[in-house]
């Protein structure tokens, strides 16, 4: 049962604002507390994940009304206390949002009465050689037109200084951690370490450390591979590197990826799920690794990731295959049970054809 809801609303969309009223009315009818979270005005600061979580009264369900960006705002808070996240879609095909606005009450009922399933997604966290800071003036330059940025991540209590392990930071990334150049005419120079060993030193516009969920975001735009969200892995992708080796590297979830800013590099901006969170100087480093705490996504039906992939990227078949017509469903006959040797496999939802 749901005991408290945290509500994240895209205030720039009328449909999201109207649907938020529906969520509040449903919560009031069921005697459930409902608090708006990650709300700000241009002249106000924003809270870090743990501070926002405490301010919202420790919700056990976070409902986001918007697109994937709004979902990420809710995810950074929900993951702090293992809350589930229900993403309400505003009409665009997204990889993270789950239900249409018109179905939000039915979705809330399903979650409240145990009719939904929970899908876990890998997240990233990080350590750093020092606490992250955003120098004065840089925030307004990089965030122009996008409202106030989040504060630098707080240092977690388990940190100890001076022992070579760095400071543990209060970071939860569902998509990616990005280190990118600040000066247009000066690439960032980085030593990239995988599982404690130097892989290579890169001179690049940026480097991306992504989850399988984030493999369809910035990493994909930079030429990285698409990973099923059901895998556990870390994807490292360089952006415009000045070197022959420009490929992505896929590491195991327990293999940390460390990025050290080299002595003759310019400064590097640290972004977490698209939000500027700090600036590194030459000699600084961050270590990115799989978090022990996954994000819990509410699902009302089996997820057709590859169908969404086809729709999201408008995948079309090769012209040479046009003569063959529409492909039939595969491994999905409707008139017989699944054979025993296929019963352990993840198959498409029965109501939609395989693609």
Catalytic residues: 68
- On whether the CB atoms of residues 149 and 143 are closer than 8 A, the answer is yes
Q: What is the DSSP string of 222-263?
A: TTPPP--TTS--EEEEEES-SSS----EEE-TTS-EEEEE-T
Query: Tokens at residue 122, please?
Result: 């890998």
* Tokens of residue 158, six digits: 């388990």
2: which residues sit within 8 A by CB, 6+ positions away? 30, 32, 60, 61, 108, 111, 112
With a CB cutoff of 8 Å and minimum separation 6, the contacts of 176 are 124, 208, 209, 210, 211, 214, 217, 218, 219, 272, 273
Please, are residues 103 and 46 in contact by the beta-carbon 8 Å criterion? no
C-alpha 328/C-alpha 177 separation (Å) is: 40
Q: Which of 131, 118, 79 is nearest to 292 (CA)?
A: 79
- Cα dihedral 102/108/110/111 (nearest 10): 140
C-beta neighbour count of 287 within 10 angstroms? 21
């Amino acid at each position: 049962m749901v005991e408290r809801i945290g509500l994240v609303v895209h205030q720039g969309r009328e449909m999201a604002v109207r649907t938020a009223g529906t969520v509040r009315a449903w919560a009031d009818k069921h005697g459930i507390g409902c608090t708006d979270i990650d709300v700000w005005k241009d002249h106000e600061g924003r809270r870090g994940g743990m501070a926002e979580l405490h301010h919202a009264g420790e919700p056990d369900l976070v409902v986001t009304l918007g697109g994937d960006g709004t979902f990420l705002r809710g995810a950074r808070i929900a993951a702090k206390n293992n809350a589930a996240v229900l993403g309400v879609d505003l009409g665009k095909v997204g990889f993270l949002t789950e239900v249409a606005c018109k179905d939000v009450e039915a979705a809330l009922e399903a979650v409240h009465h145990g009719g939904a399933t929970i899908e876990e997604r890998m997240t990233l966290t990080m350590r750093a050689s020092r606490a992250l800071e955003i120098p004065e003036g840089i925030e307004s330059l990089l965030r122009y037109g996008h409202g106030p940025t989040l504060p630098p991540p707080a240092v977690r209590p388990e940190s100890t200084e001076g022992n070579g392990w760095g400071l543990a930071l209060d970071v939860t990334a569902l998509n990616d951690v990005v280190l990118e150049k600040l000066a247009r005419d000066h690439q960032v120079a980085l030593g990239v370490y995988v599982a404690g060993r130097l892989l290579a030193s890169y001179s690049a516009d940026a480097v991306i450390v992504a989850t399988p969920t984030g493999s369809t975001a910035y990493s994909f735009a930079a030429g990285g591979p698409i990973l099923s969200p059901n895998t556990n892995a870390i994807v490292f992708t360089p952006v415009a590197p000045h070197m022959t080796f420009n490929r992505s590297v896929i590491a195991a979830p327990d293999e940390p990826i460390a990025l050290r800013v080299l002595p003759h590099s310019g400064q590097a901006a640290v972004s977490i799920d698209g939000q500027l969170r700090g600036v590194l100087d030459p000699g600084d480093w961050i270590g990115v690794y799989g978090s022990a705490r996954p994000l819990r996504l509410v699902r009302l039906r089996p997820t057709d990731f590859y169908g969404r992939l086809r729709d999201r990227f408008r995948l079309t078949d090769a012209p040479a295959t046009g003569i063959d017509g529409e492909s039939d469903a595969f491994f999905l006959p409707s008139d017989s049970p699944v054979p025993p040797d296929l019963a352990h496999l993840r198959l498409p939802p029965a109501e939609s054809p395989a693609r």
